[in-house]
Structure formats: structure tokens, C-alpha cells
């Protein structure tokens, strides 16, 4: 039995890609008039055919000030960094979700249903954390700006909430305890920033509701043991040899390990019956400063990097272990890592 390939050196990392160019967005918004928000006809979503390449990302130092103006495009790196710090302080999964929901907003173009990817990264993280928290329901709230007909805005806001819920489910996350609701323009965001007020009104937000005790639900498909095709067998062989190791308390993937991860994602994209599962791990050694939240954030941040490199989010499933996993026969392998799995469709 071969040992897994140890990828990455402690301290080396890349930050998840930052969506958009804020200066360019500001310039366009200052010059362009705000259009009246029409109701678009839903267009069929065609899966993109991409030729994935290794992402080139410059490490960045990021921070979030909750009292400052909100960036219109969002900053996934800053969101993950702030979430890591806050989740480390909160042991309750309900509190984890409330912290994340208070930060998460998904913005839409005027009259449109195309959610900004920075916000969808936040939505997937909320969905992932919710898997470990069976006593909550998550309400996905759609909103519109006040322009146009109120009844039409109500329908549009419902479609936005439905679209976000669809994309969370497409990432392999159980949405049994999610519900979507359209609120039209009756609840303005009251957010101020570099964009017009209407921009911040066209959004989806999340509400966390505690419910009575109920059976825990697993949101992640289990690997199928049936015979795999040639491409799936090739992917399984590559997955068995790939581990991504992290610096203590870090959620940024080591740059020298990313080529192997991109190769795994490319193999999964080329195999119709297979999907790649990214499984976050963490260390529970005394003084490590890591928690199950660290494992979740490692998985989500890595998925965000792969989506930023051009891979379809539906091709990647994110998961995390609530207790550190020691590999059989390799007790000395670092628990600060991300593992990979192959999910075969029935």
C-alpha cells in the first residue's frame, strides 16, 4: 500500500480568489443609470465547458470590520477569516449559524437571477454548518429593490430565494430543513456603501430559527461501491494518493499542493458519473487552537478556490469531520489536512 502524497509545507498558502474588481464596479455604477427592475424570463442554465488550469492567486492579508461599509462584490477571503475567528469562540452550532447569517448577503443584478459568487460561498458555508445542527431551520429570504410593480417584485424575490436554495443543494448539501420565501421590496436593506441603495436591496439573506428536537440528517452522499468506469477508477486512484496539509489554524491551501488538487477536479469534471468530495480535517491536540469549524472552513475555502479556477460548483461536494480522523496504518499523519473522496452517482 502506497503512502499518500504529502502536499504543502507549513506556512505556505494561497487565499481563496477574490471576486471582481471593486474600482471597476464603482466606475461603471457611477456612470450608468439605474434601470427599472423588470421580470426576466428564466433562461435554461447550460453547464459550462471549461479547461481548468492551476489558479494563480496572490496571498493577501484580509480583515472585516462589521461596522464599516460593505463591499458590493464581497470578499470571500475576508469572510472566511472573520468566520474562523468567530466560530472558534462559539461552541454552539446555533450560534455559529447566527454569526454566519449576520454576515451573509447575496446580491443580484437589476431584474436578474444571477447570484454573485462571493455571496454563494457564504451560502454554501451556512449550508455546511447546518448539517451538524439538527435543531434549526434556515429561511432563505429573497428581496427586490422598490422599482416596478410590487406584485412583480414579490415574484422576482421568490425566484431569487429559490435560485440560491437550488445552488446550495447542487453543492451536495442537504436542504431538507431549508425553506425559501420572497419578501419583495417590503424590507429595505438599509445598507450604505459605494453602490446605490437599490443594489443592496436586490439580495438574499438568511434567518436561523430554532425548532424542537428532531432526528439529525446527513447531508452528504455516501460513496457507491458498485463497479466504476475507467475514468472513475482513475480518479479513485489519484484521490487515494492525495492529501493537502495545512499550517496550524490556517484555512488557506498550500500553493505547492494546488496542482494535484486541480488535477483531481479536472478528472472529476471529465467523468460524468463521479463527483469530487473535499473533506476538511482539524487537529484536536491541546493548544492547537483548531475546532470542527476549522475543518469546515478548510473545505469551503478550497471549494471556493476551485470554483474560482473555473470548475462547476455542482461537481464538488464539501464535507467535514466533527472529530479528527486518523488514517489506518498512518498514525503519524498530520490531522491538519484536507482529504478527498469520490462520489459515484447511482
Cβ contacts of 130 within 8 Å, gap of 6 or more: 93, 97, 136, 138, 173, 177, 178, 219
Q: Report the pLDDT averaged over residues 227-231.
A: 67
pLDDT tens digits for 327-343?
Answer: 665 666 788 889 888 87
Higher-confidence residue: 334 or 11? 334
Does some domain include residue 121?
A: yes
Same domain flag for 224 and 339: yes
Query: Does residue 19 lie within any of the structural domains?
Result: no
Q: Could you give the residue ranges of the DSSP H alpha helices within 138-229? A: 150-170, 197-201
pLDDT, position 20:
46
* 310, three cell numbers: 473555473
238-271 tens-digit pLDDT: 888 888 999 998 888 888 889 999 999 998 888 8
C-alpha cell at 76: 470571500
Give domain status of residue 246, yes or no.
yes
Res. 47: pLDDT tops 80: no
Inter-CA distances, 260 with 109, 123, 126, 127, 317, Å: 36, 27, 27, 27, 17
- What pTM was estimated for this model as a whole? 0.48
3-class secondary structure, 208: strand
Quote the CA–CA distance of 36 and 14 in Å, as a whole number: 40
Q: Which one has a higher pLDDT value, 231 or 10?
A: 231
User: Predicted confidence band at 182 (pLDDT cuts at 50, 70, 90)?
Assistant: very high
Is 29 within a domain?
A: no
Q: Is residue 30 part of a domain?
A: no
What's the total number of domains in the chain? Answer: 2
pLDDT of res. 108: 96
Helix (H, G, I), strand (E, B) or coil at 331: coil
Residues 190 and 229 in one domain: no
Residue finishing a domain among 176, 210, 244: 210
In which band, very low, low, confident or very high, does the pLDDT at 46 lie, cut at 50, 70 and 90? low
Confidence of residue 309 (pLDDT cuts 50, 70, 90): confident
Both 149 and 195 in one domain: the answer is yes
Confidence bin at 53 (pLDDT 50/70/90):
very low
> Are residues 225 and 148 part of one domain?
no
- Please give the C-alpha separations between residue 219 and each of 6, 129, 180, 233, in angstroms, as whole numbers: 29, 10, 18, 25
Residue 166's pLDDT is: 92
Rounded CA-CA distance 281/92 in Å is: 19
Q: How far is CA 155 from the centre of its chain?
A: 26
Please give the average per-residue pLDDT across 79-91, as a whole number: 52
Q: Residue 45: inside a domain, yes or no?
A: no
DSSP 228: P
Indicate which CATH number applies to the domain containing 144. Answer: 3.30.1330.60
pLDDT of 129: 82
Lowest-pLDDT choice from 31-35, 189-193, 304-308:
31-35
Same domain, yes or no: 197 and 248: no
Range(s) of the domain holding residue 135: 90-210
Q: Are strands 242-245 and 5-7 parallel, antiparallel or unpaired?
A: parallel
Instruction: Please report the beta strands in 12-126, taking only residues with DSSP state E, as ranges in sequence order.
Output: 106-107
Query: Would 71 be classed as within a structural domain?
Result: no
In a domain, 31, yes or no: no
Three-state SS letters, 65-82: CCCCCCCCCCCHHHHHHH
Q: Which of 168, 189, 210 is the last residue of a domain?
A: 210
Amino acid at each position: 500500500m502506497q503512502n499518500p502524497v504529502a502536499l504543502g509545507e507549513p506556512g505556505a498558502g494561497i487565499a481563496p480568489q477574490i471576486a471582481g474588481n471593486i474600482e471597476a464596479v464603482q466606475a461603471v455604477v457611477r456612470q450608468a443609470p439605474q434601470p427599472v427592475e423588470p421580470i426576466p424570463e428564466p433562461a435554461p442554465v447550460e453547464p459550462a465547458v471549461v479547461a481548468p488550469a492551476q489558479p494563480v492567486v496572490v496571498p493577501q492579508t484580509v480583515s472585516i470590520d462589521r461596522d464599516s461599509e460593505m463591499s458590493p462584490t464581497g470578499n470571500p477571503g475576508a469572510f472566511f477569516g472573520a468566520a474562523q475567528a468567530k466560530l472558534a469562540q462559539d461552541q454552539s452550532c446555533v450560534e455559529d449559524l447566527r454569526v454566519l447569517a449576520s454576515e451573509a448577503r447575496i446580491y443580484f443584478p437589476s431584474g436578474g437571477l444571477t447570484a454573485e459568487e462571493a455571496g454563494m460561498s457564504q451560502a454554501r458555508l451556512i449550508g455546511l454548518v447546518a448539517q451538524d445542527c439538527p435543531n434549526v431551520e434556515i429561511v432563505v429570504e429573497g428581496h427586490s429593490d422598490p422599482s416596478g410593480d410590487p406584485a412583480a417584485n414579490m415574484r422576482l424575490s421568490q425566484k431569487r430565494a429559490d435560485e440560491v436554495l437550488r445552488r446550495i443543494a447542487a453543492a451536495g448539501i442537504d436542504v431538507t430543513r431549508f425553506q425559501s420565501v420572497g419578501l419583495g421590496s417590503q424590507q429595505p436593506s438599509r445598507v450604505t456603501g459605494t453602490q446605490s441603495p437599490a443594489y443592496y436591496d436586490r439580495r438574499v439573506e438568511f434567518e436561523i430559527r430554532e425548532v424542537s428536537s428532531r432526528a439529525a440528517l446527513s447531508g452528504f452522499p455516501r460513496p457507491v461501491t458498485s463497479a466504476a468506469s475507467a475514468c472513475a477508477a482513475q480518479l479513485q486512484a489519484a484521490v487515494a494518493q492525495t492529501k493537502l496539509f495545512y499550517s496550524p489554524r490556517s484555512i488557506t491551501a498550500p500553493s505547492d499542493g494546488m496542482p494535484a488538487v486541480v488535477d483531481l477536479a479536472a478528472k472529476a469534471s471529465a467523468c460524468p458519473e463521479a463527483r469530487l468530495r473535499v473533506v476538511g480535517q482539524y487537529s484536536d491536540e491541546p493548544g492547537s487552537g483548531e475546532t470542527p469549524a476549522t475543518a469546515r472552513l478548510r473545505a469551503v475555502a478550497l471549494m471556493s478556490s476551485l470554483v474560482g479556477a473555473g470548475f462547476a460548483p455542482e461537481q464538488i461536494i464539501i464535507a467535514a469531520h466533527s472529530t479528527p480522523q486518523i488514517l489506518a496504518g498512518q498514525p503519524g499523519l498530520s490531522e491538519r489536512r484536507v482529504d478527498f473522496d469520490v462520489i459515484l452517482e447511482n
